[in-house]
Structure formats: C-alpha cells, structure tokens
C-alpha cells in the first residue's frame, strides 16, 4: 500500500526540524498543488518546507485503507486533467505514476433494458448511439471534434498566470517588462481567437455562457446520450443542467488527456494517492523538506509592512520565511489563517462572498462480487465492458438530473440521486485483497446532498445510513442484488469533506467554477495572479486560476510567479 508507506516515511519529522532555520519558502498544505508548487520552487534553488495537517499527503488525492485489504481513492478517483507539461517536467512516470486507460470509458444502463456504452473507439460510439438515434450517431464525432478544438484554445490559458493589473508601482524597467508580458499574453490570445474563426468563436462563447441543456439539445435528440454527457457539466457543483454557464464545466471535464488522447480519463495504479506520492518523490528529490501532522494555525505577518514572516503551527512552533504559499481554500487562507484586520475590507468582503456550496457526497465501498446489470444479457460474473468505465446511475434524462437538484435546493438529499460509479479494481488489482479476484473496490460519486439539511444533521448516524441505503437501493434497480454484495463502506458528506480534507463547504473545487469565478475573477477580481494583498503570501491551490480538479496548474503557475518575484529582489 504505497500511500501508507508514504505516511510512515514522513511522520518521523518533528516541528523542531523546521524551526531551526529560515526557509526560502513555506508551503501550507500537502495537497497535490502544494506538492507541485514546492517541487518547482525547490528546483529553482529555494529551500522549501511543506507542512501538511493530516497524517498523509495528497489532500483530496489520497489512497486510504478504509476496509481491511481494500485501498480506496477516498476523494478524487480519476485522472485526466493533470497537465502534460507537469508530468514531463517532474518526471512523474519515473517516480512511479502509472495510468490505467479505460476502454470503454462510460456505461449508462436504462431501466427499460437498453444501455449506452461510449469511449475513444469511434466505431463503438457510432454503433451504440445508433441504437437510439442514427442522427445523433453522425453528430457525435462532430461534437467531440468541436470540444477538442475549444480545448486547444484553453491550453495556454491553463498553463499561464492571468495577466493581472499590478498593485504596486513598479520601476520603469519592471513596468516595461510587465507591459511586454501582458502584450505577449493578449497577442497569443488573439492568435488563438483568429485561428478559431468567427463561427467557432461564437460557438465557444455560446458554450461558455449557456446552460449545458441548451448546448446538448442543440446537438442531440437522444435523452440518455444528453444526460450521460450532461453529468460532466454538473459534477462537483451545486448546479443543474439548466444553470447558465454549466456548459463551461462540461468543457472543463473534457479538456484533459491520457497519453496525448483528449478527454480520456484513467485510473491510477495504487489509487489517486499514487499521484501525490509521485509528485512528493519529485519534490523530495529536489530537496523539499516535507512534514506531516503539522497543522498551520496562523500566518505570521509584520503589521507595519504587511509582509509575511512565516507561520505558526498548532503546537506553537514558528516556521520562518518571507514567502508563504497556501494550498488551502481562499476562505481558510484569508479568514482563518491570516490574523484579523490586516487585509483590505473590500478584499475580505469578496472572499466572504465566494460560493462554496456543495452537493457532493463520496461513498467508498468494498464488495464481494461485481454488480450484475440486468440490461446486459447473460451472466457476467467476470469483468465486462460495462464494468470498466464510469457507470452512470440515475442519468437517463436531463430532467432526471434536474429533479435530483431541485430536491437539494429545499435542503433534502436527492430522492433519486445522480450517481457516478467506478470500479477501479477491474483494472488495478493492487487495491483489492490479493488472490480474492471476486472482491472489488467501488467508488460512488453522489449528487445532490446539501451541506445543511432542512431537517436533522449529517452528524446523525440514522440520517447518514438512510441516505447511503437510498443510493444502494437505486443501484439495485439497475443491478439487482448489489446491496447484498457490500462488505463495508465509508461515506464523506459535504461537512465531512470540510472537516477531514479542509474543503470549505465541502466544495471539491475550492469554490464555484461559475463564469464569475474564473480566470481574472478567481479567486476574486484584482487578485487572480496568485499574489495577495500581503507581501510574500501567495495562493497556490484550486481556489486560484485555473480552478479545481487534479490538475496541478495552480501550483505550477503560482511557483512561476514566486520565482519571478524573487528574481526582482
């Protein structure tokens, strides 16, 4: 169990070991973005200390043994968005990262006995969609090609710090450099716009601004196809397919790749903790000092200069540095870690008004046999194509998704939840008990579960159990007997995600991914370039541009800004 070994390796560090010196940079939080930032900073020659509150690294990208013998990707569970440049530069494959490509990648069972399989195989897609609509079968490759074109447009935005307006008065030389940098950025942006052409650019804007339902209705007529694709537009968000701007979230979830192939999501051998393990190995190789069980209680700030001087740990230990990068959420960073009355009122007001609403619950299960879907003819005791990819439960129409959302708006967990089921152990036998080929690991990513319930609380074990059984019973409708296969399970509701992983409001993206919270507006207007109103304090987590997902771009971009600032000194 790689992640458990990782825990033991770093647990021996003591707080005194980081208090004896002044560090070039301190990184708060050992999530994947914090690890990425630390690795790049150390590679630039800085002495770097990384401090993680939990007993293991990875934040939401962790592998944990929750049921004896079963290793779970406890929060995030698939990989696609991790930037190719980062994988290459940090040599993550050399450090043990192994991706397991899924084919087919999607399976949607229907209660009427039909089903839809989708993947990277164009012939499979055509034959599967044609079962429902020949028109849609012809339209689907055009839809994929258009999204791929838009993804190429987005690539340089993801890998670049936003061209933010400078807050301090630069020297003449620095001012000229800054002007040239911004001119180069917008020039590249214009080149991409011109390469798209006016029609594609208008279609791109339509995708960004429209509800996913409008986008998909314009392309297709088959309900199950539209609903399957629409799940990418709402996953992880407290939004519905009819929410304006949900089209962008749909694009966000298809702009990744595996092995150079767009939109392909993979399992990671050893679970998602193996991603964090590989990055941590690269960071340690570069010289980063990593310490777990090291909760940061406060950022130390000189009240006169408004410059950071380091951090204070929960045990009172002071760790000194004039550069601090926070991988925590913007709320946690600026409201809970920064001492009060040191930030501008308008800035802190904007931070307090960020949207951290979440409708997400993660359920991790150990089972003694694979689910048998009644829409698949014959007895499939062994792995079939329906078990390999993401299994969409409760996704037969977009209105079904919308009804589940409406329940949550009233403070009630969805009566018929939207469930994304994955069974990584069909491709990765390292995460289930050796020799027990019938036993498997199952992830359920469930929506919608409001953070606050209209009646009762998520702390109530009866309410938790009732909702879990609701999810299992829904799966039983498609795969009879599923409930009886469960050996054990672990459930993380939005308050659990906040308490255990540090995700404010339980929001997996460190804040809404609406159009009012992206690019130059992330986390707030005027502070999108990872810098903050306090000199030396930077944001390097998913609450910064370009947002959430196991992407690594915020950490990589933030490190480049820190290095740029330090080179000016």
Q: Which residue has better confidence, 248 or 325?
A: 325
In terms of domains, do 391 and 495 share one?
yes
Q: Which residue has better confidence, 11 or 174?
A: 174
In terms of domains, do 246 and 278 share one?
no
Q: What is the mean pLDDT of the chain?
A: 92
| 8 A C-beta contact, residue 65 and residue 434 | no
Would you state the pLDDT for residue 10?
40
| 8 A C-beta contact, residue 520 and residue 385 | no
Q: Does residue 537 sit within a domain? A: yes
In terms of domains, do 236 and 167 share one?
yes
Q: Does residue 197 sit within a domain? A: yes
d(CA 130, CA 135): 8
In terms of domains, do 242 and 175 share one?
yes
The answer to whether residue 381 scores a pLDDT higher than 60 is: yes
The answer to whether residue 13 scores a pLDDT higher than 60 is: no
In 434-550, which ranges are continuous DSSP H helix?
A: 461-478, 494-496
In terms of domains, do 286 and 154 share one?
no
In terms of domains, do 274 and 349 share one?
yes
User: What CATH number is given to the structural domain containing 313?
Assistant: 3.50.50.60
Q: Does residue 481 sit within a domain? A: yes
d(CA 376, CA 328): 44
In terms of domains, do 305 and 387 share one?
no
Count of other CB atoms within 10 angstroms of residue 25: 26
What is the dihedral sign for C-alpha 205, 352, 158, 220?
negative
Domain that holds residue 191: 103-264
Looking at 466, 481, 501, the residue that finishes a domain is: 501
Q: Does residue 36 sit within a domain? A: yes
Q: Does residue 506 sit within a domain? A: no
Would you state the pLDDT for residue 380?
58
Q: Does residue 372 sit within a domain? A: yes
In terms of domains, do 230 and 370 share one?
no
Looking at 464, 480, 501, the residue that finishes a domain is: 501
| 8 A C-beta contact, residue 506 and residue 496 | yes
Would you state the pLDDT for residue 14?
62
In terms of domains, do 416 and 327 share one?
no
Would you state the pLDDT for residue 8?
35
Kindly state the tokens that stand for 358: 């979440």
* Domain count within the chain: 3
d(CA 210, CA 229): 15
pLDDT tens by residue, 271-321: 999 999 999 999 999 999 999 999 999 999 999 999 999 999 999 999 999
Looking at 481, 501, 521, the residue that finishes a domain is: 501
Task: Enter the DSSP assignment of 499.
Answer: I
In terms of domains, do 487 and 534 share one?
no
Q: Does residue 8 sit within a domain? A: yes
In terms of domains, do 382 and 470 share one?
yes
Q: Does residue 373 sit within a domain? A: yes
In sequence order, the β-bridge partners of residue 127 are none
In terms of domains, do 257 and 292 share one?
no
| 8 A C-beta contact, residue 531 and residue 170 | no
d(CA 412, CA 395): 19
| 8 A C-beta contact, residue 269 and residue 430 | yes
């Amino acid at each position: 169990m790689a992640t458990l070994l990782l825990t033991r390796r770093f647990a021996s560090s003591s707080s005194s070991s980081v208090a004896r010196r002044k560090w070039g940079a301190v990184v708060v939080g050992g999530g994947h973005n914090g690890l990425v930032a630390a690795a790049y900073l150390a590679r630039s020659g800085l002495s770097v200390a990384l401090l993680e509150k939990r007993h293991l690294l990875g934040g939401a990208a962790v592998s944990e043994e929750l049921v004896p013998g079963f290793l779970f990707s406890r929060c995030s569970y698939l990989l696609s968005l991790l930037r190719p440049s980062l994988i290459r530069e940090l040599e993550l494959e050399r450090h043990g990262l192994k991706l397991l490509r899924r084919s087919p990648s999607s399976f949607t069972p229907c209660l009427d006995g039909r089903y839809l399989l989708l993947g990277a195989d164009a012939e499979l897609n055509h034959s599967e969609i044609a079962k429902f609509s020949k028109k849609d079968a012809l339209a689907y490759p055009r839809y994929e090609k258009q999204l791929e074109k838009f993804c190429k447009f987005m690539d340089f935005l993801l890998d670049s710090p936003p061209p933010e307006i400078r807050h301090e008065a630069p020297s003449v030389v620095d001012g000229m450099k800054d002007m040239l940098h911004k001119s180069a950025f917008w020039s590249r942006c214009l080149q991409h716009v011109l390469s798209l052409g006016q029609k594609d650019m208008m279609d791109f804007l339509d995708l960004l601004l429209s509800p996913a339902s409008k986008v998909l209705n314009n392309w297709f007529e088959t309900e199950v196809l539209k609903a399957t694709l629409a799940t990418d537009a709402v996953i992880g968000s407290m939004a519905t397919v009819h929410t304006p701007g949900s089209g962008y979230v749909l694009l966000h979830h298809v702009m990744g790749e595996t092995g150079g192939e767009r939109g392909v999501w993979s399992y990671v051998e050893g679970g998602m903790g193996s991603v964090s393990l590989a990055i941590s190995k690269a960071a340690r190789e570069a010289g980063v000092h990593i310490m777990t069980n090291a909760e940061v209680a406060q950022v130390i700030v000189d009240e006169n200069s408004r410059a950071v001087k380091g951090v204070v740990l929960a045990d009172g230990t002071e760790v000194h540095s004039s550069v601090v990068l926070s991988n925590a959420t913007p709320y946690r960073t600026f409201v809970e870690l920064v001492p009060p009355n040191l930030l501008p009122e308008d800035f802190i007001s904007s931070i307090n008004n960020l949207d951290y609403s979440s409708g997400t619950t993660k359920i991790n299960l150990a089972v003694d046999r694979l689910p048998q879907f009644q829409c698949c003819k014959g007895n499939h005791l062994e792995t079939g194509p329906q078990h390999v990819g993401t299994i969409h439960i409760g996704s037969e129409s977009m209105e079904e998704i919308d009804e589940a959302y409406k329940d949550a708006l009233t403070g009630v967990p969805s009566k018929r939840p939207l469930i994304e089921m994955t069974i990584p152990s069909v491709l990765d036998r390292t995460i289930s008990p050796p020799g027990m080929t019938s036993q498997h690991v199952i992830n359920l990513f469930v929506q919608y579960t409001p953070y606050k319930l209209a009646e009762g609380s998520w702390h109530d074990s009866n309410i938790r159990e009732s909702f879990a059984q609701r999810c299992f019973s829904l799966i039983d409708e498609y795969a009879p007997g599923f409930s009886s296969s469960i050996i054990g399970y672990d459930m993380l509701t939005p308050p659990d995600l906040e308490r255990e992983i540090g995700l404010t409001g339980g929001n997996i993206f460190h804040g809404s991914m609406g159009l009012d919270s992206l690019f130059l507006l992330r986390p707030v207007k005027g502070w999108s370039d990872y810098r903050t109103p306090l000199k030396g304090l930077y944001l390097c987590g998913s609450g910064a541009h370009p947002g959430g997902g196991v992407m690594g771009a915020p950490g990589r971009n933030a490190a480049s800004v820190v290095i740029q600032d330090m080179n000016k000194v």
